[in-house]
A and B are shown apart, each in its own frame.
Chain A
Amino acid sequence: MKHTLAILVENKPGVLTRVAGLFSRRGFNIESLAVGVTENADTSRITIVVSGDDHILEQVEKQLNKLIDVIRVSDLPVEESVNRELALIKVGVDSTTRAEVMQIVDIFRAKIVDVGIKSLIIEVTGDESKINAIDQLLRQFGIKELVRTGRIAMNRGAKSVQAEKK
């Protein structure tokens, strides 16, 4: 079972090491990780996708909360949140395949952000399955390079992850 955790932390050096170190030390597996500053400059938000049963998830949350620099940990259920990843995909093209690739880009509402003679860079955002799908489709043309961010997520509706409550 996969869980998406939003972890609000102090925006200080070394905090990511503390969080990541805890996962490896306790034998929890990180599937994806993304980090950036929030609406407050002194707070960063780490989004971690972790797999495990309820017992493991409970331990992960409790152990994270023990870290002094962790302000809040929230579990964001997929159904109640918007989940996004971003990928940059460099695809090899020639005159015969270029049009077909551009058509796929269109269907996925992706963007071409760089055009070369023998390649294109495609930028695509979406949930994990969308990115997996375009990845699969583009493989036939020859993917030269692919880079993906970790997942970020946000509660739908009025509910939000705020620093005040822990």
Chain B
Amino acid sequence: MTHTKMSGAKAVIESLYCENVDVIFGYPGGSVLPLYDELYEAKLRHVLVRHEQAAAHAADGYSRATGKVGVCLATSGPGATNLVTGIATAYMDSVPMIAITGQVPRSLIGYDAFQEANITGITLPITKHNYLVQDAKDIPHIFKEAFYIARTGRPGPVLIDIPKDVQNEVMEFEYPEEIKLRGYKPTYTGNEQQIKKAASLILKSEKPIFYVGGGIVFSNAAEELRILAESIMAPVTTTLMGMSAFPTKHPLSIGMLGMHGTRYANYAIQESDLIIAVGVRFDDRVTGKISAFAPNAKIIHIDIDPAEIGKNVRADVPIVGDAKNILKSLLKYVKMEQVKTESWTKKIAEWKKEYPLVYKKDNLLRPQYVVEQISDIVPDAIIVTEVGQNQMWAAQFFNYKNPRTFISSGGLGTMGYGFPAAMGVKIGKPESTVIDISGDGSFQMNSQELATVVQEDIPVIVAILNNGFLGMVRQWQELFFNRRFSSTCLEGSVDFVKLAQAYGALGLRATKKSEVRDVIIEAVKSGCPTVIDFVVEREENVSPMVPAGAAINEILDME
């Protein structure tokens, strides 16, 4: 395809081919008509969503599940601004994504033209980089750069804004082989001296602990992590973003840490003498009161983004680079027979026995039970979540085995993320059962996508843990606002079964514990887009809980 004359719109499609894009999620409008005309016979799948926010989340879900760059497309003005929440969600969780937006013709930019929005300005703080294409001949190199920037270093979303007349302009297409970016050179290999220093700290440590996050997942370093953890016999705690980075049932796994982390993970952090932090950013939901975080520990901080090091905590040994590379190098220096963590791992095993994650096992239908049954019936499912209590229970009670099987909006905490993200996950991983563990509040933020999954035949399962509340907010009101449930009761929500049916999807309901397994099995067997309404206990709380601003070992007892 070298040196062929074509329109800017065609050049966009050709660039997508060159980047091996096979699916994009989008919604048409006036400023992207030339692009949509090219898509009419393009050799890639376009999924027509029902709201642009869903296009962004679907591209994001596709990316998180496959490791490839997800692509979404929207028209100018309201189309572009509808992408914003999705772009911010991807940015906070470092998800590689390309957002393409139409823009008013160049001659109208700046004149408050119909459906004009300064989307490059609006998304400046929530993209890794963005472009306003001023000339059709720039399209190939901008796309080449944009994909490269999105997927390398610390990944993130990149937006490309293309005026309508640029889409019509004729240019000569040649996709560049190379990229010249003077200001962008990510570091992948860790400094050998630093790695040696880290290794010697590890070998001296009696109470080491791995604190790992999304960085492990993105750098495909789960295997290296497991081998290293087993070599030095150190427990592993993960953030929400790192949930699937280490097998839940591994003897060294101590689950999630932080606000809704396990007691033993939080205790272990507070008592450890060495934190090996990999691909994490010491977020406040993890550290609690930062000055009281891990008071006895030295910190090795491994991250691809130098700006994360020293941002929230001091690191004794910072190592900038790719987690996979660095963990591999560390392994060279660390020999099994030298470790002295026996009494530490024993102590942790005792804590695990003493403070397991529990909930009341009575005859009532409790949300945790639903998650456990999903885990039991479809152990290889990819779990996507919404935000709130449902998200925490999904993290706590599903047994994760492989990376990229827990997909959730961590940094931004975007309600309405899960269902559209699940569409993208299912398209990226058609062989997997994809289940959105949802809340009655969150689902209603993007339930219009039922039309998309039916029209496009994307058989995802939405499992609503329906408590009739904005449950997580209600929990805070119960604990910290004297049970004044201000605007958190969702009574009068739609009948979710009928809603599903109205769209042509399968709708199922369980109101009793005894019905749970049957509806899950039916949904999985059906192979159809399905919504299951699990009518659960209304005032169940997520436990344990560290109140915001407290040290992470100051844990509230919920029962």
Contact = CB atoms under 8 A, between A and B. Distances in A.
Q: Do A and B come from one complex?
A: yes
A105 to B, nearest CB: 43
B129 A68 contact: yes
B183 A67 contact: yes
Given A25-B125, A55-B310, A59-B311, A71 B305 contact: no
A68 B183 contact: yes
B183 A166 contact: yes
Contacts of B183: 9-10, 67-72, 166
Interface string A56-77: 0011001101111111100000
Contact of A66 (B132, B181, B307, B310): B307
Contacts of B121: 17
B184 interface: yes
Given A163-B182, A166-B182, A65 B120 contact: no
Contacts of B149: 68
For B124, B182, B310, which residue has the most chain A Cβ atoms within 10 angstroms?
B182
Nearest to A21: B124
Contacts of B305: 66
* Size class of the contact patch on chain A: 20 to 34
Contact of B306 (A9, A17, A65, A69): A65
B185 interface: yes
Contact of A21 (B125, B184, B307, B310): B125
B307 A65 contact: yes
Interface in B161-198: 181-185
A59 B121 CA distance: 23
A166 B310 contact: no
Nearest to A67: B183
Contacts of A139: none
A14 interface: yes
A9 B183 CA distance: 8
B128 interface: yes
A10 B149 CA distance: 16
Contacts of A70: 183
A18 interface: yes
Interface in A15-48: 17-18, 21, 25
A58 B307 CA distance: 9
B283 to A, nearest CB: 16
A10 B131 CA distance: 14
Contact of A68 (B128, B307, B311): B128
A18 B120 CA distance: 10
A70 B184 CA distance: 8
14 contacts: A10-B183, A14-B132, A18-B124, A21-B124, A58-B310, A59-B307, A66-B307, A67-B183, A68-B128, A68-B184, A69-B183, A70-B183, A163-B182, A166-B182
Q: List the 7 closest pairs (A to B, CB-CB), nearest first.
A: A62-B307, A71-B183, A68-B129, A71-B182, A68-B184, A70-B183, A25-B125
